[in-house]
A = this chain, B = another copy of it.
Amino acid sequence: MKSCPLCATEGGLTLYRDELLRVVRVTDTPEHPAFYRVILNAHVAEFSALPRTERERLMETVVAVERLLLDTLRPAKINLASLGNVVPHLHWHVIARFADDAQFPAPIWANAQRERPTAALQALQAQWPVLDAQIAQAAASVR
């Protein structure tokens, strides 16, 4: 699918990849620095179209990323979503949400309610090198 951005590109900074899926850090939403995607490599639109074993490994990878974010960042909440209205190529958003982020407690797709303090953004960005490696390791441990 040359016209699909998740077939033509990685969809973010790839931290982990295997034959079924990849885990990327999202790079196009700078106001949410702790935003990851678990992306199916194959071009499939709906979660229910996958065999159960593949659904389970996708979700266990989502869970591994969620757990790592909870343990390391202590966010207010983790948000999980598989939408795909614009890009119907299965991908799970895993987003660490914080009380001072632009839309909290609304979903990130709602209007911004505030500007997030630059210091808070920079503090999260400073954790990328360590977090990137931890997420790669967590994803690799899923079976």
Chain A residues with CB under 8 Å of chain B are 45-48, 52, 55-56, 59-60, 62-63, 66-67, 70, 76-86, 88, 97, 104-107, 109-111
Chain A at the B interface: mostly helix, strand, loop or mixed?
mixed
Contact B48 A55 (CB under 8 A): no
Number of copies: 2
Contact B80 A47 (CB under 8 A): yes
Q: How far in angstroms is the closest Cβ of chain B from A129?
A: 24
The contact of A56 among B45, B48, B56, B88, by CB within 8 Å, is B56
Q: Which residues of B contact A85 (CB under 8 A)?
A: 76-77, 79, 97, 104-107
Task: With CB as the reference atom, state the residue of chain B lying closest to A109.
Answer: B107
